[in-house]
Amino acid sequence: YSTFPQSPRWKKEDVTYRILNYTPDMLQADVEEAIAKAFHLWSSVTPLTFTRLYSGQADIMISFAAGFHGDFYSFDGPGGTLAHAYHPSSGIGGDAHFDEDENWTKFTNNGFNLFLVAAHELGHSLGLGHSNVYGALMYPIYMARDTRDFRLSQDDIDGIQALYGPPRESPALPTKSFSPQEPTEKTPAKAPTETSPQEEPTETTPSKTPIRPQDCDPHLTFDAITTLRGETLFFKGSYVWRKSPYFSDIEHDTISSFWPSLTAGFDAAYEVDKKDQVLFFKDHQYWAVSGYSIEPGFPKPIQNLGFPPSVRKIDAAVHDQNTKKTYFFVGNKYWSFNENTQSMERGYPRKIASDFQGIDHTVDAALQKNGLFYFFHGSSQYEVDIKNKKLIRTMKSNSWFNC
Amino acid sequence: FPVVPEKEKEDKQFAKKYLESFYNFKEEKNSFFKSENLNHMADKIREMQSFFGLEVTGELNHKTMDMMKKPRCGIPDIHS
């Protein structure tokens, strides 16, 4: 964590705040709830109390504005800078400004979650600077996360308690349910925000994160593989191996470093290059991304693609850039999906072995590269020329990693 | 992810603005400090890469540009 130079802080514990205006993107009640919930996050780990004022000068004045808005830091339109806030002091000190050119929401997709951004900005209003701990609330980059049971990271708590110390009496139990600090005037208690059906799944945080296998481990297997803008991404658990024509080494990443709100453990993935779109499959749902951004309206059920209800998940998928067909592999069968008509082709499913020479087992992952197909099964991969229905060779799954 | 080549000049401009906003980069307006500017900018790129745990190269590689383009808070990451 960090603080501002000379670590400015409020020299009192009862800090006041006032909401000066609202964004048209959200119900006023949802804005008020997001702000109150954000204050509650900080009051639950410090002796601070936050009281809402409805007129006059409060310590922390909260407003929405676009472009130039009267301070030296104009906003920059959609994306880029989302908001900023000033460290504790008189006048503009403590104030938090939100860029009205953004799309504010109480969900975690289709825009920026106001609670998450407000909680971050109020950290500044209380005296915290940015943290370089990935996943900390005070990390400078926005990360869409499940807000239902959001918790400060230890780094955030260490930082704010370095300024204000711990709460007076430690709550018997961590306050799970959110009860906003009583404002000066009664506002009707609000039901906790219901989650939208499109609410991103909570990040599965395995109790013990398995370590990344070695690149050249001869037993290495993959969950899913896809191309992406000329690169190739190999997925296993939460890990990504990235092979790019733009740099020689294999880059090691995690799914959350590209798509923080997607859960680990894809079943399948494929790229529709013409649409600059990659689709990820997990259990009975699928997501579409373009670069880093998840397309609105996802996840969707896989039945949307035309699978019968009996199909609860798929093993692998690969898009044939020549025929514009996508092949989905489930058990010992496969489907052919026409990307142009967005519908499953008639006469499917068919047996994999009858059309893919030499592939007489299930498929973990599939890839098309330079016109040839690669089918991965366990630690082996099979290079197939499907035009001539010929199995060319069998290799280790990680032969792409210059082992 | 890959950046379309002709965008490189644009990216450099973007990066300069980013480093001015968040890493206290100040470009010498005087042109004959050009080489000094380039070193100074490379230092600031290194500072940003180090903050985000990227490979510290001082160059605007694709990962560094990607990180700069992510939506973020408007407060600087380092304070003068």
The string of pLDDT tens digits covering residues A17-27 is: 999 999 999 99
A/B interface, count of CB pairs below 8 Å: 73
Query: Omega into B2 within 30° of 0, i.e. cis?
Result: no
Q: Supply the mean pLDDT for chain B.
A: 85
Q: Identify the pLDDT of residue A169.
A: 65
Q: Does the pLDDT value for residue A149 go beyond 50?
A: yes
Report residue A30 as tokens. 């949802």
Bridge partners (DSSP) listed for residue A255: none
pLDDT digits (tens, 9 = 90+) for A57-69: 999 999 999 999 9
| H-only helix segments in A84-174 | 114-125, 154-164
In B, which residues are within 8 Å of A290 by CB distance?
none
Q: Give residue B33's pLDDT band: very low, low, confident or very high (50, 70, 90).
A: low
Asked if A305 and A351 count as a contact pair (C-beta separation under 8 A), the reply is no
- The pLDDT, as a whole number, for residue A248 is 79
Segment (H or E) for B9:
helix B8-22
Residue pair A278/A235 in contact (Cβ under 8 Å)? The answer is: no
pLDDT at A83: 98
Q: Is the pLDDT of residue B3 over 80?
A: no
- Are A116 and A106 within 8 A, CB to CB? no
More confident of the two residues B1 and A131: A131
- Nearest CB neighbour to B72, from listed A132, A140, A244: A140
Predicted pLDDT of residue A189: 32
pLDDT at A209: 53
Looking at residues A76-101, what average pLDDT do you find? 97
Which is higher by pLDDT, A258 or B32? Answer: A258
Cβ neighbours of residue A229 closer than 8 Å, sequence gap 6 or more: A276, A291, B1, B2
Per-residue confidence (pLDDT) for residue A26, from 0 to 100: 95
Question: What residues in B contact A140, CB-CB < 8 Å?
Answer: 22, 72-73, 75, 77
pLDDT surpasses 60 at A342: yes
Compare CB distances from B71 to A75, A82, A244 and report the shortest one's residue.
A82
Decide if B75 and A140 are in contact by the 8 Å CB cutoff: yes
Rounded Cα–Cα distance for residues A56 and A8 (Å): 23
Cα separation, A26 vs A23, in Å, equals 6
Q: Average of pLDDT values for A78-83?
A: 96
Mean pLDDT for A332-346 is 93
* Residue A234 near residue A222 (C-beta atoms within 8 A): yes
The predicted structure's pLDDT at residue A2: 96
For the stretch A359-382, pLDDT in tens is: 888 999 999 998 899 999 999 999
Q: What residues pair up with A281 in beta bridges, in sequence order?
A: A268, A286
Tokens of A348: 């499917």
Residues 6+ apart with CB under 8 A from B4: none
Q: Tell me the C-alpha distance between A155 and A139, whole Å.
A: 10
Q: What is the mean pLDDT of residues A385-389?
A: 83
Residue B50 belongs to what H/E stretch?
helix B34-51
**8 Å CB contact of A121 and B2:** no
* Per-residue confidence (pLDDT) for residue B36, from 0 to 100: 65
For A9, A34, A353, the CA distances from A15, given in Å and listed in that order, are 11, 18, 70
- Identify which of A4, A84, A229 has the shortest CB distance to residue B1: A229
Catalytic residues of A: 121
Q: What is the mean pLDDT of chain A?
A: 87
pLDDT at A104 over 80: yes
Please check whether residue A242 is in contact with residue A233, taking contact to mean a CB–CB distance below 8 angstroms: yes
Kindly state the tokens that stand for A356: 């893919």
The number of C-alpha atoms within 13 Å of A30 and in the hemisphere containing its C-beta is 14
Q: In terms of DSSP bridges, do strands A333-338 and A325-330 run parallel, antiparallel, or are they unpaired? A: antiparallel
Mutate to test the interface with A, among B65, B72, B78, B79 (most CBs of A within 10 A): B72
- A81–B74: do the CB atoms touch at under 8 Å? yes
Measure Cα distances from A237 to A45, A122, A173, A227, A267 in Å. 34, 35, 33, 18, 10
Per the CB < 8 A criterion, the answer to whether A230 and B2 are in contact is yes
Q: Over the stretch B40-75, which tens digit does the pLDDT of each residue have?
A: 899 999 999 999 999 899 999 888 999 999 999 999
Amino acid A200: pLDDT: 36
* ipTM at complex level: 0.88
Name the interface residues of A facing B (CB cutoff 8 Å).
Answer: 2, 4-5, 73, 75, 79-85, 99, 102, 112, 117, 120-121, 124, 129-130, 132, 134, 140-142, 228-231, 244, 246-247, 251, 291-292
pLDDT at A201 over 50: no
Please check the confidence at residue A187 and state whether its pLDDT lies above 50: no
Q: Are A311 and A297 in contact (CB under 8 A)?
A: no
Residue A175: what pLDDT? 32
Check residue A204 and give its pLDDT.
34
* pLDDT the model gives residue A225: 97
User: Which DSSP letter does residue A183 get?
Assistant: P
In chain B, which residues have their Cβ closer than 8 Å to the Cβ of A256? none
Question: A49's torsion region: left (phi>0), alpha (psi -120 to 50) or beta?
Answer: beta
CA dist., res. A339 & res. B64, Å (int): 34
- How much of chain A exceeds pLDDT 90, in percent? 68
**A111/chain B closest Cα distance in angstroms:** 11
Testing the interface with B: which of A75, A141, A244 to mutate, by most B Cβ within 10 A? A141
Candidates B75, B78, B79, B80: best to mutate against A (most CBs of A within 10 A) is B75
Contact state of A246 with B22 under an 8 Å Cβ cutoff: no
Q: For position A349, what pLDDT does the model report?
A: 94
Q: What DSSP designation does A109 have?
A: S
pLDDT at A150: 87
Task: Give the mean model confidence (pLDDT) for residues A82-110.
Answer: 95
**Stronger pLDDT, A50 or B9, i.e. the higher one:** A50
With CB atoms and an 8 Å threshold, state whether A141 touches B77: no
Option in B61, B74, B79 nearest A129 (CB): B79
Give residue B10's pLDDT: 85
Q: Are A253 and A243 a contacting pair, CB within 8 Å?
A: no
CB A323 within 8 A of CB A273: no
Would the pLDDT of A304 be above 80? yes
User: ω before A260 within 30° of 0 (cis)?
Assistant: no
Q: Which of A23-32, A133-142, A239-248, A278-287 has the lowest mean pLDDT?
A: A239-248
Q: Nearest chain B residue to A227 by CA: give it.
A: B1
Q: Give the pLDDT score at B5.
A: 59
